[in-house]
Amino acid sequence: MIKITKYAVVFGLIVALTGVAGVSGWAEPANPYESTLVGIAVPFTNQLTALVTDNPDGSYHYEYTLVFENAAFFGQPLTSFSVGNITGVPFWNQWCDFDFTSASSLDSVYWYVDVPQGNTVHFSYDSAAEFMLVDVTMNAGLPADGQTLGMKPIPEPGALATLAFGLLGIGWTNIRRRR
């Protein structure tokens, strides 16, 4: 027979709370969210605003406004813009107000464009996922990175399993105590 000690209960609580913290996050970022995309290899910056609104069907509309004033080197066009999508959350209605080719990878939503410097570009898509801060990258000769609003990842099965085992441990302890 397994004897459950107070330490096991405390450990179970810690594991359960850690799982909850990892799944839910602690704070919501401002909506709209304004950020600066910064080029590291060759310093250059561009301003980005993200706005998430509700669609009538209960999904969310993600819209990004990029003021493309600076490139790594003078005259280079904006060639791509990507928003992090770590767990491959589904999205649809991908759009840009310039000609674009869309793509998605295991970790991002991409727009491939050819936009001359000095333009403001709008990108958007819809998703059922709520928002949180995610990584964003633009490429104008060299990449510029920052953070913006994007889709909240689907909780990993491991985090949910940890939470479930922690709660089961607490429940088992209570059952054993009552006997």
Q: What share of the chain is helix, strand, coil (3-state, %, to 5)?
A: 25, 45, 30
CATH number of 33-151: 2.60.40.690
Confidence at residue 162, expressed as pLDDT on a 0 to 100 scale: 64
Domain ranges of the chain: 6-24+157-178, 33-151
Confidence at residue 177, expressed as pLDDT on a 0 to 100 scale: 72
User: What kind and span of H or E run contains 176?
Assistant: helix 157-178
Q: State the 10-residue block means of pLDDT for the chain, 179 residues long.
A: 60 56 65 97 96 97 98 95 93 95 85 97 97 96 97 70 64 70
* Pick from 141, 154, 1: nearest CA to 87: 154
Confidence at residue 24, expressed as pLDDT on a 0 to 100 scale: 46
* Pick from 146, 163, 177: nearest CA to 17: 163
User: What kind and span of H or E run contains 101?
Assistant: strand 100-104
In the chain the first and final C-alpha atoms are separated, in Å, by 14
